[in-house]
Amino acid sequence: MPVEPVFETRIDRLTILDEHGRFDEELGAGLIPDEDVVALYRHMVICRHLDEIAFKLQRSGRMGTYPENRGQEATSLGAAYALQKKDWLVTCYRENAGLFWRGLPMELVLLHWMGDERGNEIPEGLNVTPLAIPIGTQMLHATGLGWASKYRGDDGIACTFFGDGATSEGDFHEAMNFAANLDLPVIFFCQNNSWAISVPTRIQCSAPTIAQRGLAYGMDCIQVDGNDIFAVVKAVRDAAERARTNQRPTFIEAVTYRLGDHTTADDARRYRDDEELEMWKLRDPMIRLRGWLDARGLWDDSKQASLQEEAEAHIAAAVQRASDIEALPPTEFFKNMYKTMPPNLQQQMSTMRTSSLGRNPETADQSAVS
């Protein structure tokens, strides 16, 4: 018997605006209206400024930990732009640009990283899930949201974001398998930023692309230049179309780069080449987009200068709003443990003691909870 190939494929890489400023007119013309490109660029500049301010807040002791988003703005922003408001953004923790585009108030994100969990009180109807800090667990929730959308018969999509490192987690594989087997409207959006904290991608995945991991689950998959917002928008639109019309999931690998440290608790200089960093700085998604706008007469230095001033005022106001919120009394942390507070928590709250130190239940002061 001859040996015959039973499966052949390839992985495509999509770029529309490359790092040298070359623009694929065929794919890119009319993809995003000019005024929207301007709005997206303005948004990136403001988000970048927030990143710089948050870093300084952390260094000056006003913020616990902060994961810089610098260099990755085009990925979540492009996705949020391409999706509809009814679609879910199921994020991890480096998607500020997309979350703010959706409408999440900046002070909530600042508040969260300042160590106040009221920052997670996401306004109703934004269709955004809480930050997911354990790696990869949120992908299954996206699969569940996709499942629920299908069950309810609405045509919402769940788009989940994660890094290259998360594709080594079991939850990633289980989420992908479920979404493909059950025909769910889910977009798996991998931000391959080359580093899982200090571990380079090549140590996590020996295949030439992360995108091809989707093939194993019978899923459409594509690699895009993640610093090219045009390519991201097109890839996500195509995936959304596939999800809405055919209930099929898509895996997108967006190749980008983390220009900052993993978080403020990390120092990437200890493990990363300056040369690599300098090369990626030239591929910054904002530089590329600015060049595109300049070439079309849509932007100039004076607009940039006034935008910079606007960004500074905007972020300063957000920081002020976050700082103005009064600290929580300790009794508040019992509030959201159960929909209705059970007696043992009421007792802990009223005595402000753990059960092992608590007073006799019969004599404990219950008046505080009545």
Report the nearest approach of another protein to the CB of residue 37 (Å).
33
Report the nearest approach of another protein to the CB of residue 118 (Å).
6
CA-to-CA dists, residue 135 to 7, 15, 169, 170, 213, angstroms? 32, 28, 7, 10, 17
As to burial, measured by CB atoms within 10 angstroms (0-12 exposed, 13-18 middle, 19+ buried), residue 174 is middle
Residues at the site binding another protein, with contacts judged by CB under 8 A: 88, 90, 117-122, 124, 129-131, 134, 137, 139-149, 151-152, 156, 158, 170-171, 174-175, 177-178, 181, 335-340, 342-345, 355-356, 358, 360-362
**Nearer residue to another protein within complex by CB, 45 or 184:** 184
Report the nearest approach of another protein to the CB of residue 87 (Å).
12
End-to-end CA distance of the chain: 81
**Nearer residue to another protein within complex by CB, 96 or 347:** 347
For residues 179 and 140, give the distance between their C-alpha atoms in angstroms, rounded to a whole number.
9
Of 303, 244, 305, whose CA–CA distance to 83 is shortest?
244
- Is 81 an active-site residue? no
**Nearer residue to another protein within complex by CB, 28 or 156:** 156
- Is 66 an active-site residue? no
Which one is catalytic: 271, 296, 353, 359?
A: 271
**Nearer residue to another protein within complex by CB, 55 or 334:** 334
Which one is catalytic: 242, 262, 288, 290?
A: 262
**Nearer residue to another protein within complex by CB, 112 or 288:** 112
Sign of CA dihedral 260, 263, 268, 269: positive
Structure tokens at 350: 């009223």
- Is 271 an active-site residue? yes
Report the nearest approach of another protein to the CB of residue 64 (Å).
15
Which one is catalytic: 70, 112, 242, 258?
A: 258
Classify each residue of 294-306 as buried b or exposed e, where b means 16 or more C-beta atoms within 10 Å of its C-beta.
eeeeebeeeebee
Hey, which bits of the chain come out as E strands?
13-14, 88-90, 158-163, 186-192, 195-196, 199-200, 220-225, 250-255
Q: What residues are labeled active site?
A: 258, 262, 271
